Amino acid sequence: MGDNADDFRAHVRDWYEANATRRGATDPWAVNVQTDPGDAVAHFEACRAWQGRLHEAGLMGIAWPSEFGGGGGEPWMSRIEREIAREYEEGTGFVGASTAMIGPALLRHGSDEQKRVFLPKLLSAELTFCQLFSEPGAGSDLASLSTRADHDGDDFVVTGQKVWNSAAQHADWAFLLVRSDPNAPKHRGITFLLVDMATPGIEVRPLVQINRSAHFNEVFLSDVRIPVTNVIGEVDDGWAVARTVLANEAAFIGGGPKTPASENLRTLAEQADRSGDPTVRQELAAIISREHIAGWMGEQIQQAIRRGDMPPIDPGLIKLMTAQNRVRTGNLAMELQGPAASCGEASQTLWSQAELYGRFSISIGGGTNEVLRNNLGERVLGLPREPGYAKDQPWREIPR
């Protein structure tokens, strides 16, 4: 490949040219929504297969340690690969997103044996993972979770309910947060587990969303036995592992889509003969600038976590910024389309509608805007905590 950036860029470019489809070959207005369950399975498996091909080519986990299936390369190599990948149609989708969330947590908190067992299969997508964190009574206030885990010999016996679990009906494994000590304060007494989704006692029920897809699920766990060897980090100290996952989730969500929304917005402005409109130009400039800033912030966070360092930017900041960006892109798309954005099956109409109602998934998933603002105020600005329970109060005694 060569040791310098130009040689590596040429190598990656050659591989993509030989194996992938340049953008523009398909409809730029296509919305990645599968309303048919069969299509959803096919899409998930296509993403799995593509990640496997990237791994075989040495282009997945480029900066991860080679002893755990990675490339042992430098962070700049990963950045170059992502820049080039944006120019091609194929992608890893949710499979790549879950890899970006759980992989760094395993690297930072997992035992050497867990790294050897899971990381190579994670990178190759031989094993795919979903996230079982949120609950009906513990969404943005995740540390209030109540899914119970009772220690029984070499196992934990887990009972509870999770919700808004992306691709849980497709994934092989899950990373799971449980309440292992109800007498400890709520941020302690939580354990982080890996669980095979084929384990008896796990039931997955898809949830149909506003866009008619069933990407999210609710998951019921009834006396599910999970080996203690599947604990990541320490028993009762899973919140530290969860924060690593949440930081990566926020950075990934904030990294934005493969193709920036601003490209389609510029096309809509031209079609509406409003490219010269000062207000439209000003809003487009703001959106483009914010897209670049969010991308840079996400890269800084992910590089730090890959090095095992604390993120230089609070991940909640990039997530909050991305949620605000989605509001602006949806509003501008609807303004430029006018009445044509309200009805019909034209691809531009469906894309504009997806930008409009997509703001809700971005502003809720990975932590609501309101909770993120509270966290930023307390952690970054040093503002007083929200009134409520005492930090050392046992979880069992907190009103719910």
Active site residues: 249
Q: Cα 170 to chain center, whole Å?
A: 16
Helices of type H across the chain: 5-19, 37-56, 75-85, 93-109, 112-124, 238-254, 261-271, 278-306, 315-337, 347-364, 369-379
Which tokens belong to 165?
């679990």
In the block, residue with structure tokens 């523009």: 24
CA atoms within 13 A on the CB side of 194: 25
User: Within 10 Å of residue 236's Cβ, how many Cβ atoms?
Assistant: 16
Q: Cα dist. 80→49, 96, 291 in Å?
A: 22, 17, 18
In the block, residue with structure tokens 């430029």: 336
Which tokens belong to 349?
């109409």
User: How many whole angstroms separate alpha carbon 131 and alpha carbon 99?
Assistant: 11
Strand partners, 207: 216
One-letter amino acid identity for 262? S
What's the burial of 254, exposed, middle or buried (CB within 10 Å: 0-12/13-18/19+)? buried
User: How many whole angstroms separate alpha carbon 179 and alpha carbon 158?
Assistant: 9
- DSSP 8-state class, residue 110: S
Which tokens belong to 253?
């969500």
What's the burial of 64, exposed, middle or buried (CB within 10 Å: 0-12/13-18/19+)? buried
User: How many whole angstroms separate alpha carbon 265 and alpha carbon 82?
Assistant: 23
**CB contact at 8 A, 374 and 167:** no
